[in-house]
Amino acid sequence: MTATAGWHEAVAGLSAAGEPLAALRGRLAAAGLQEYCAVFNPLAPALAPWAERLDGVPEPLRTLVELFVLGREVPAPAAEAALGAGLTDSLAGLGLLAAGPGGTRHLGGLVLRFVSGYWLLTDRPGPNPVSYFGDDSIALLTRLAPRAGGSALDLCSGPGLQALHLSSFADRVTAVEINPLAAALARVNACLNGRQERIEVLCGDLDEPVRGRRFDSIAANPPFLPFDDDFPSAFVGHGGADGLGMTRRVLAVLPGLLAEGGTAQLIGSCVAARSSPRLPGELERWCRDTGLDAVLTVATYAPLAPGSALFVALVESAALAAGRPRAEAEAAFARSLEAQGADVLLAHYLLVTPGRGELRVIDVARPARRTMWFASGMARPDWLG
Ligand SMILES: C[S@@+](CC[C@H](N)C(=O)[O-])C[C@H]1O[C@@H](n2cnc3c(N)ncnc32)[C@H](O)[C@@H]1O
């Protein structure tokens, strides 16, 4: 059985959770959970392949996979045998381990991932998550090159993956997230990785909680999916009509947040007519006005005309989030794209460094295959036949 709801109440009430979460980290490592997770391609986060490989997984690892990785309900005695009675009680006390029907235990809609050395609790994969994790999270993570020492800022942190990685380099990390539930989960994730002394999580709108402070490294994965502005869409993803709404807001506050010599790394997407992408013109002006250099790397593009797979996925997500009919979402999105003359979605990265106000563009974009974030997939070696 799969548990679907409940973590919201639990993490909203969590405060000092350092000790039990450190014990959990030790228990999971001892049982081999990180070894199990590492078998699966980190660029393709999905539950189904993990569930298919449970045969041959010994206890207590199997129970831990079901409970934490797959977010399933497991019998209470099995949970206790896998975690130990004391830790089971502590996690229940924190509200992270909930009691289900028929004497089961579950994580209340959370799943645990092991990503590049970090434990990360997030929502079970599904439409409109509160605490987001996706292939864009990994794409930004793998390119982060923060300065060693100093201070770092994770804007739009969600459950805090970028903040965790920044804390492996920087002395002090601040994560800012507007959703109080996602912010609470980011605090839990900091504890789960033993980084609570180095990561502070602030809940607020973009730069508002850190105004007046400056940072040596800044990472941002802001909402960047395009949708009609009048149509409320997924909270974690809505980037305005062209996808750049939140990116523009981040760019507007960046100069005031960067310490002298500091760098910033962003990931994003924007709608475009493939023949004339719009971003460079705007960015050129931004570089000139701020005196900062930027490298814009356009990785791939995906068809976004009505009927395309991406169009359909965005319409479904928007209709669900707004609780409005699918046909309305479809018509609104089609109108918005037509008004902008857009037929593709470009996936891009932005590196901002001190400099002379110049923009460089690396445009290697070809149609996206499997992921929008990498120009090539995994090659299939000949010897596999
Ligand atoms: C695409 S998710 C990125 C999450 C995480 N940084 C990652 O890379 O996986 C965007 C996050 O930005 C948050 N967000 C949206 N608007 C925001 C704002 N104005 N200020 C701060 N965070 C915001 C959303 O709640 C969501 O958690």
Could you tell me if the CB of 152 is within 6 A of ligand 1?
A: no
Q: pLDDT tens-digit profile of 101-140?
A: 899 999 999 999 999 999 999 998 887 788 999 989 999 9
Q: What is the pTM of this model?
A: 0.93
- pLDDT for 19 beyond 70: yes
**β-bridge mates for residue 3, sequence order:** none
Could you tell me if the CB of 269 is within 6 A of ligand 1?
A: no
How many residues are present in the chain?
385
Cα 62 to ligand 1 centroid, rounded to whole Å: 33
- Amino acid 4: pLDDT: 44
Could you tell me if the CB of 205 is within 6 A of ligand 1?
A: yes
Could you tell me if the CB of 37 is within 6 A of ligand 1?
A: no
C-alpha to C-alpha distance for 369 and 376, rounded to whole angstroms: 8
Distant-in-sequence, close-in-space partners of 107: CB < 8 Å, separation ≥ 6: 3, 7, 67, 68, 71, 96, 97, 98, 121
- pLDDT for 54 beyond 80: yes
C-alpha to C-alpha distance for 81 and 92, rounded to whole angstroms: 15
- Amino acid 2: pLDDT: 45
Cα 384 to ligand 1 centroid, rounded to whole Å: 40
- Amino acid 97: pLDDT: 92
Mutate to test the pocket of ligand 1, among 121, 156, 210 (most ligand atoms within 8 A of CB): 156
- Amino acid 3: pLDDT: 44
Residue nearest to atom 17 of ligand 1 (CA): 178
- Amino acid 302: pLDDT: 92
DSSP 189-201: HHHHTT-TTTEEE
pLDDT band at 381 (very low <50, low <70, confident <90, very high): low
Residue nearest to atom 26 of ligand 1 (CA): 236
Of all atoms in ligand 1, which is nearest to the CA of residue 131?
A: 27
Cα 160 to ligand 1 centroid, rounded to whole Å: 10
Q: pLDDT tens-digit profile of 224-277?
A: 999 888 776 556 778 899 999 999 999 999 999 999 999 999 999 999 987 775
C-alpha to C-alpha distance for 252 and 246, rounded to whole angstroms: 10
Cα 105 to ligand 1 centroid, rounded to whole Å: 30
C-alpha to C-alpha distance for 363 and 4, rounded to whole angstroms: 41
Cα 186 to ligand 1 centroid, rounded to whole Å: 11
- Amino acid 380: pLDDT: 61
Q: How far is CA 318 from CA 47, 124, 240, in A?
A: 23, 19, 12
Could you tell me if the CB of 177 is within 6 A of ligand 1?
A: yes
Distant-in-sequence, close-in-space partners of 212: CB < 8 Å, separation ≥ 6: none
Residue 72: strand, helix, or coil: strand
Cα 53 to ligand 1 centroid, rounded to whole Å: 32
Residue 295: strand, helix, or coil: strand
- pLDDT for 5 beyond 70: no
The residue with greater pLDDT, 45 or 300, is 300
Distant-in-sequence, close-in-space partners of 352: CB < 8 Å, separation ≥ 6: 254, 258, 263, 264, 265, 266, 292, 293, 294
Asked if residue 233 lies in contact with residue 322, where contact means CB atoms within 8 angstroms, the answer is yes
- Amino acid 162: pLDDT: 98
Q: pLDDT tens-digit profile of 214-234?
A: 999 999 999 999 988 877 655
Q: pLDDT tens-digit profile of 303-352?
A: 999 999 999 999 988 888 888 899 999 999 999 999 999 999 999 999 99
